[in-house]
Structure 1
Amino acid sequence: MKFDLHTHHERCGHADGTIEDYIIAALDAGLQAIGISDHSPYFGHKDDRPFPGIAMAQSEFDNYIKEVLELKAKYEGRIEVLLGMESDFFPERLPAYRDAYEGVPFDYIIGSVHQVSGVSIFNRNRWEGLTEKQQFEDKRRYYDLISQSARSGMFDVLGHIDAMKGYYPAFSDIKADAEIDDTLRIIAENDVSIEINTSGSTKYVGGWYPSDEILERAHHFGVNVTFGSDAHVPSRVGDEWDLVSKRLKEIGFKKWVFYRQRKQIIVPL
């Protein structure tokens, strides 16, 4: 069974195409399930849409849910459309996000850390002038936030867990093995999965999130994995699915998972 749990569309302000465009692309790619998971609004912020090029407006949230559910019904029998969301993780705003998601019939929620110390993980300049100690501290904070997101109970999947390397490939060389291992243990203990996210191929790093090294350690700790292209254009839906499946088998994984009504569905590799 082929699936893709991580897709975006025009509502977020930095992706192309409608939700239906991504569903059609999934059909063309031979997928049996397609997850719609646009960037969550900045819940708890005083402005409706403080960052128009990053995430949808709070006032668009209900329209988003309604549209996905309508398309789920429209395409029933042809492809399974899953209602998801890529949710930012801000510990200080957790209650606002919980309240917003209460009662929504999500199939799954991806929790992603996009900011560390108030700066985007994709900011190309965040590493300039930092000492080795400061670089390590940023990486430690990043994995601490990922650990907190796993413990929060809000998420089914954790998004792109080494994406800080996207525009700074040397991130992988900052030694934080103990911190990463602790994070993977916490993820496994809380029965949250991690995605293999193939959008790294569109960044400087040119590879998947997470690295093979982290995937090998995730396998050791018993972490479940899922797949997400993180497509921001319809043509990337399901991108490199077969290559990811092959690599996971080589590492030793026997299965991966997707979600339906917040329940984990096992798919043999």
Structure 2
Amino acid sequence: MWKITNNFHTHTSRCGHAFGEDEEYVVAAIKAGIKVLGFSDHTPWPNISQRRIRMDEEMLGNYVKSINFLKEKYKDIIDIHLGLEVEYIDEFVPFYKKIKEEYGIEYFILGQHGEVDENGPYFYNQFANNKEMASRYVEQVIKGMESGLFKYVAHPDHFLNGYRINDYFIESQMRQICQKSLELNIPLEVNLTYPRIAIMQGGVHNGLDAYPFDKFWKIVGEYGCPVVFGIDAHEPDNLLLDYSDEIRYMIETFKLNVVGL
């Protein structure tokens, strides 16, 4: 009942901070009993190289070729899909649409980590307890949801890693995301990265210190937003861990409206 059988959040070594061969992820997913595996490595940005964060644009063709090969090879065993994890940035939208059509990308997930300004790329969480950055994050997530480009929002509470003050301001920001998710019926992802770290260390995830943040998912449950779970796999073995205790805790504690496991 608490087992993940659909995971659309899987990375590859091309992003520079994930490990393992593409096929190793597929083999691990099959072993774990996953029925649907979506690859969604970090999208390239046009004319910007961030080799520890995302693939360069010239690597995209190899990524697509590899995933499509595996999709065909394992088609009778597991359902594989080709996607990308993408930040919503206004000026990059034409590029995103272009590569989606040109390479036959099936889906984007919205993983809003940062943007680019005149000084280059930056992360929202570089700026501790910064209201402007928190607001900017929420503004871009909402624009992304409204764009129609995205299957779901990955780690929607990511910005709370940077904004640690519990105040009316941050509650209003969280509610804006939930309201838009409900309005547009776009799922919000419970990201299992930090629960995974806790499991691997023999502990239990603390929803006060890292996402999924309890305070955010309490509001999600209150609104009844559609919810999915994402393993956010960066190594094949990430797919083999037992996440059932965390999944049960999140669903039962916050009465989440889960639309697919």
The match for 2:234 is: 232
Q: Are 1:8 and 1:15, in contact at CA under 8 Å, matched by a contact in 2?
A: yes
Consecutive unaligned residues in structure 1, runs of 5 or more? 258-266
> Deviations along 1:4-37, whole A, 9 cap, x unmatched?
2111111111111111111111122221222111
Consecutive unaligned residues in structure 2, runs of 5 or more? 199-204
TM superposition shift of 1:206: 5.7
1:73-88, aligned counterparts within 5 Å? Answer: 73-88=72-87
TM superposition shift of 1:159: 1.3
1:182-261, aligned counterparts within 5 Å? Answer: 182-201=176-195, 202=197, 207=207, 209-237=211-239, 239-250=241-252, 251-257=254-260
TM superposition shift of 1:238: 5.6
Q: Are 2:221 and 2:256, in contact at CA under 8 Å, matched by a contact in 1?
A: yes
> Deviations along 1:124-148, whole A, 9 cap, x unmatched?
xx32xxxx6xx22221221111111
Structure 1 residue 69 corresponds to structure 2 residue 71: no
Letter in 2 for 1:182: Q
1:1-269, aligned counterparts within 5 Å? Answer: 2-43=5-46, 45=47, 47=48, 50-102=49-101, 104-115=103-114, 118-123=121-126, 126-127=127-128, 135-166=130-161, 168=162, 171=164, 173=166, 175-201=169-195, 202=197, 207=207, 209-237=211-239, 239-250=241-252, 251-257=254-260
TM-score of the superposed pair, with normalisation by structure 2: 0.82
Identical columns (%): 26
TM superposition shift of 1:92: 2.4
Letter in 2 for 1:219: G
In structure 1, the residue corresponding to 2:92 is in which secondary structure? helix
Give the number of the structure whose residues are more often helix, by fraction: 2
> Deviations along 1:146-205, whole A, 9 cap, x unmatched?
111111111011111122344x5x6263541112212211122222111111112449x9
Name the stretch that deviates more: 28-37 or 14-23: 28-37
Number of residue pairs aligned between Structure 1 and Structure 2: 243
The match for 1:262 is: none
Note closer, same or farther for the CA distance 1:74–1:206 as it changes in structure 2 (3 Å cut): farther
Taking only aligned residues, the RMSD between alpha carbons, in angstroms, comes to 2.5
In structure 2, the residue corresponding to 1:84 is in which secondary structure? strand
Note closer, same or farther for the CA distance 1:154–1:172 as it changes in structure 2 (3 Å cut): farther
